[in-house]
Structure 1
Amino acid sequence: MISVIVPAYNAEKYLAECLTSILGQSYRDIEVLLINDGSTDSTLAIATDFAHRDARLKIFTTGNRGVSCARNYGISQACGDWITFVDSDDKLLPDALMSLVAIAGKTSADIVIGKHTDADKDSLNKSGRYMMISPLEAMAQTLYQTGMIVPAVWGILYNKSVFTEDTLFVPEIRYEDLDIFYRLFENAGKIAVIPDIVYFYRPNPESFINTFSPSRFDALAVTERIEQYMESRHPELLPAARDRRLSANFNILALLEQHDDVRYEDIKTRCWNLICRYRLRSLFNPKVRLKNKLGVLVSFLGRGAYRFLSKKTY
């Protein structure tokens, strides 16, 4: 059985569409764990109506503790051998779970990673194709941001065994997906990647990733933690971790250059100093993506030039 965990907070706008896509899956052996995270709108009423019509939907109401705590609670209540996550404003394509579980059965993979899209689709092309990669290669692909694996927890099927006390979501931080992916990969014996689009992601222009908030700075701490992890456990991945940390500092500095706020001068300086410290490593690393190399080249023109170009392009 697959346990589908759906954290929901004030999700009334798209929740019905989300639940319809899950309960309508061609793979029927599922339970849906909706974690109502202290919603104040009609989220609970919508979920209750669905639960009356389909006993596979279970509703749990918690205080407003955030998506990480909601996911952790869902994991603790899951009865399935497999776990997947769906955000309450997104949806699964009709054969998504069938495609993922078929590859899991064929390959004995502990994690099966599908593709996602932000273009609404009614069906997917079930290719039956897959590629097996090692946990270390999966980490490298994610850290180098090659596009093969996006550090998002949805659109992926996990064997429940990969979730341990050390691989739960860290509460009260943003970039929780980036913070957990390498720990989940560490616990996987085999990882399969499929080319099939299984997940529809709904872009939200008001989400924290598309707006300015001090919580964006969590990316700096998360990528520093990843670097420390790789340095102690997988030093061969240290260049990849440093490049990902460099990328986070590029992004935060570019964001802050749009805001002439003296409160953030110290963060700007720390970002710039790290960029100067790490840039040569990434410039001469053939695995680093072009976008990061261009950022490095611009940085050699000085902070003033970087500030000017950031305001023009960010």
Structure 2
Amino acid sequence: MQNNPLISIVVPVYNVEKYLKKCIQSIVDQTYKNLEIILVDDGSSDNSGKICDEFAQKDNRIKVIHKINGGQADARNKALDIMNGEWVSFVDSDDFVSPYYIENLHYLISKYDVDIAITSFVRFYNENTKLSSSKISNQEVLLHNPDEAVKNMLYGKYYSVSPWSKIYKKDLFYNNRFTKGKIYEDFELMPIITSQSKKVAFCDVIDYFYYCRQNSTTKSDFSQKNMQGYEALDSLDRYFSNNLSIKNVLKDIRALSPLTDLPKIKISSDNERVLFDEVSKNINHKRLFILLFSKNINLKLKIKIIFFICFGRHTYAKFERMRLKKRINKIINNEKSGVVYE
């Protein structure tokens, strides 16, 4: 690998004028300079497109694509089609990254000869929360083979299934693209891409700052479109049909998903009652009981499983909805605790 390869950073942009400047500036300010920054304005109706153009006029590393709205997956795909980098990283337009984001990821791919490198992220709810970062120094680096990495990703152990806070060798996207029009496009694609890598490196240094907007965190809704998450599980189950260990992980995720989804359904209409029952079809009490003894599930989740089994889906959903709303409001209203470490 070249010592200083061109790295593409892809930012899908849609109606985020309030957050966009901070996001782009954090990328421009990277200590690693050999970058191709691709901003994809996905038909924004606010000033987002104009902001992208203004940054492009000041920095020749920036390319701007203006396109008709097609969704985040389509925006990412457009960038992948034109990128020139040997490596690619994704950043969401309402988030921002540390100055060492790419430098740290480049260090990992260079030293450990991997196809994917990952660093940690934090969620923050308060725009005024002070956040810090650092270069990789003596932090432990974990190396995972493809199967281990896919399992960790699906369980949310060490790293998430989201495409950001990672860097990928461009070859992994030669025959892979995000599925347009789906809201779980990353959940479906990332495990597949990871399974096609030769090795994954992870370092628990915080480089990515994921902003949870108040209007998106306090609402609790789950529509028919969200059932695409279960369709994504079906798709992954077919892809990994010959991999028994990953198929078992997918069974675990399917059993656990209703614990997250049911509290988001308020059951205030007949359609919501039907949806509640549809999600409930994925409940597998036997699998949940087995998970109580699994090393892959943390204590908090095991407590939720016990509550769910003992009190039933309706009581669990009502209690969990109240608990989440109270917790998020507390975080939002307290600047010092306005960050959640992952």
TM-score normalised over the length of structure 2: 0.83
> Which residue among 171, 191, 206 is the counterpart of 1:197?
206
Change (3 A) 1:211 1:63: farther
Aligned-pair distance for 1:157?
A: 0.8
Provide the rounded CA distance (Å) in 2 between the counterparts of 1:241 and 1:221: 12
Alignment: residue pair count: 310
Change (3 A) 1:309 1:21: closer
Provide the rounded CA distance (Å) in 2 between the counterparts of 1:18 and 1:303: 40
Change (3 A) 1:3 1:42: same
Provide the rounded CA distance (Å) in 1 between the counterparts of 2:133 and 2:15: 28
Whether contact under 8 Å (2:9, 2:36) holds in the other structure is yes
Equivalent in the alignment of 1:222 = 232
Equivalent in the alignment of 1:103 = 108
| 1:59 equivalenced with 2:69 (yes/no) | no
Equivalent in the alignment of 1:127 = 137
Aligned-pair distance for 1:54?
A: 0.8
| 1:271 equivalenced with 2:279 (yes/no) | yes
Give the counterpart letter for 1:192 in structure 2. Answer: A
Aligned-pair distance for 1:245?
A: 1.3
Aligned-pair distance for 1:282?
A: 2.5
1:39-78 pair list within 5 angstroms: 39-78=44-83
> Which residue among 137, 144, 159 is the counterpart of 1:149?
159
Give the counterpart letter for 1:2 in structure 2. Answer: I
Aligned-pair distance for 1:280?
A: 3.4
Task: Identify which of structures 1 and 2 has the higher relative contact order when contacts are C-alpha pairs closer than 8 Å and 6+ apart.
Answer: 2
Provide the rounded CA distance (Å) in 1 between the counterparts of 2:85 and 2:306: 49
Change (3 A) 1:304 1:37: closer
Give the counterpart letter for 1:235 in structure 2. Answer: L
Whether contact under 8 Å (1:71, 1:169) holds in the other structure is yes
1:21-36 pair list within 5 angstroms: 21-36=26-41
Q: Give the unaligned 5+ runs of structure 2.
A: 1-5, 125-129, 325-342
Aligned-pair distance for 1:211?
A: 4.1
Whether contact under 8 Å (1:208, 1:216) holds in the other structure is no
Provide the rounded CA distance (Å) in 2 between the counterparts of 1:228 and 1:210: 33
| 1:8 equivalenced with 2:13 (yes/no) | yes
More off after superposition, 45-54 vs 61-70: 45-54
CA RMSD of aligned residues (A): 2.2
Change (3 A) 1:24 1:220: same
Q: Give the unaligned 5+ runs of structure 1.
A: none
Change (3 A) 1:19 1:262: same
Aligned-pair distance for 1:311?
A: 5.0
Change (3 A) 1:94 1:204: same
Aligned-pair distance for 1:45?
A: 1.6
Provide the rounded CA distance (Å) in 2 between the counterparts of 1:209 and 1:168: 31
